[in-house]
């Protein structure tokens, strides 16, 4: 079990400021740093004597922004949903993403198509060459037969 002494006699300073379009009191330690809390007073119902007090404890930089910057709605001075404007964090600009995988796949398909076309042309040229080679061989046979027949006729 852990125990320690605590002191509740710390000096604090209150500073009246304008925060999120409303007047609030900032609660500081005696040296004005760091900000401990913001106290916001407002009427809960219009034209009534009922008041409410909102106390916002700051955790790091989260106290820099108004509470409406976290409600999921574009309201007050926000430029987009929960961002932009003087009282909310700046909106993140989405970075453009280039799909390299798609480009590589397309280039590979183009390369495959090119290789198929080149191989078909080479195959066609080989067939044409073989046809010419065979047809010249057949021509030689035909000529030889023609000469043989012609020789028989003469004899």
| For range 39-62, the mean pLDDT | 65
Q: Specify if 18 maps to a domain.
A: yes
**Domain count along the chain:** 2
Report the chain's terminal Cα–Cα distance, integer Å: 134
Owning domain of residue 134: 96-155
User: Which of the given ranges, 3-12, 16-25, 104-113, 141-150, has the highest pLDDT on average?
Assistant: 104-113
CB neighbour class for 76 (10 Å; exposed up to 12, middle 13-18, buried from 19): middle
CA distance linking residue 63 with residue 37, whole number of Å: 8
Q: Specify if 76 maps to a domain.
A: no
Q: Specify if 6 maps to a domain.
A: no
Burial per residue of 99-134, b for 16 or more beta-carbon CB atoms within 10 angstroms, e otherwise: eeeeeeeeeeeeeeeeeeeeeeeeeeeeeeeeeeee
- Supply the mean pLDDT for the chain: 78
Q: Specify if 89 maps to a domain.
A: no
| For range 16-40, the mean pLDDT | 77
User: Which of the given ranges, 81-90, 99-108, 146-155, has the highest pLDDT on average?
Assistant: 99-108
User: Reading across the β-sheet that carries 35-43, which strands appear in turn?
Assistant: 12-19, 22-29, 35-43, 51-57
Q: Specify if 81 maps to a domain.
A: no
Whether the full predicted model's pTM is greater than 0.85, yes or no, is no
Which three-class secondary structure state does DSSP give residue 105? helix
User: Which of the given ranges, 27-31, 41-45, 88-92, 140-144, has the highest pLDDT on average?
Assistant: 88-92
Q: Specify if 110 maps to a domain.
A: yes
Q: How confident is the model at residue 45 (pLDDT cuts 50, 70, 90)?
A: very low
Q: Say whether both 100 and 152 belong to one domain.
A: yes
Burial per residue of 35-63, b for 16 or more beta-carbon CB atoms within 10 angstroms, e otherwise: beebebeeeeeeeeeeeeeeebeeeeeeb
Given 44, 64, 84, which residue is the final one in a domain?
64
| For range 111-134, the mean pLDDT | 81
Q: How confident is the model at residue 120 (pLDDT cuts 50, 70, 90)?
A: confident
Gyration radius (Cα) of the chain, Å:
45
For residue 112, is pLDDT > 90? yes
| Residue 96 or residue 32, greater confidence | 96
């Amino acid at each position: 079990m852990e125990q320690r002494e605590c002191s509740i006699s710390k000096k604090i300073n209150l500073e009246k400021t304008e925060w999120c379009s409303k007047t609030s009191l900032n609660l500081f330690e005696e040296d004005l740093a760091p900000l401990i809390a913001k106290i916001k007073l407002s009427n809960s119902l219009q034209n009534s004597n009922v008041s409410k007090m909102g106390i916002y404890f700051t955790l790091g930089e989260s106290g820099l922004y108004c509470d409406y910057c976290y409600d999921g709605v574009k309201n007050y001075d926000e430029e987009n949903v929960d961002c932009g404007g003087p009282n909310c964090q700046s909106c993140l600009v989405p970075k453009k993403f280039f799909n390299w995988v798609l480009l590589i796949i397309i280039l590979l398909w183009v390369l495959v198509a090119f290789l198929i076309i080149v191989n078909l042309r080479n195959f066609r040229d080989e067939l044409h060459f073989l046809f010419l080679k065979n047809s010249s061989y057949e021509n030689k046979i035909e000529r030889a037969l023609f000469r043989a027949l012609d020789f028989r006729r003469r004899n």
